Every structure is written in structure tokens, then in C-alpha cells.
């Protein structure tokens, strides 16, 4: 019982960090893209 709880916690932590890294990467890509568009427009 305790082992399954620990594995579930590790899985949740892994999923949270994975989604956070994906969100952060997409955010960086979006910011870089808008920055490039501004450079081109000017």
C-alpha cells in the first residue's frame, strides 16, 4: 500500500514537471517568435 502511494506521488511529480517544462518551452518559443516578428516589422 505504501509503495503504491509513493509510486503514485512520483508519477504525479513527474507529470507535473513534464507539463511545466513543455509549457515553459512553448512560452519561450512564443516569446522568441513575437520578438522576431517585431524585428522584421521594424
- Residues comprising the chain, all counted: 42
Spatial distance between the Cα atoms of 13 and 33, rounded to a whole number of angstroms: 30
Q: Is the Cα torsion angle 13, 16, 22, 23 positive or negative in sign? A: negative
How much is the pLDDT for 35?
94
Question: pLDDT band at 6, cuts 50/70/90?
Answer: low
Tell me the pTM.
0.57
How much is the pLDDT for 42?
63
| Tens of pLDDT, residues 15-38 | 999 999 999 999 999 999 999 999
Spatial distance between the Cα atoms of 7 and 28, rounded to a whole number of angstroms: 31
What the block records as the C-alpha cell of 18 is: 513534464
Which residue in 9, 7, 5 sits closest to 17, CA to CA? 9
Amino acid at each position: 500500500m505504501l509503495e503504491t502511494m509513493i509510486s503514485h506521488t512520483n508519477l504525479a511529480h513527474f507529470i507535473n514537471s513534464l507539463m511545466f517544462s513543455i509549457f515553459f518551452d512553448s512560452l519561450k518559443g512564443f516569446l522568441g517568435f513575437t520578438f522576431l516578428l517585431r524585428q522584421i516589422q521594424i
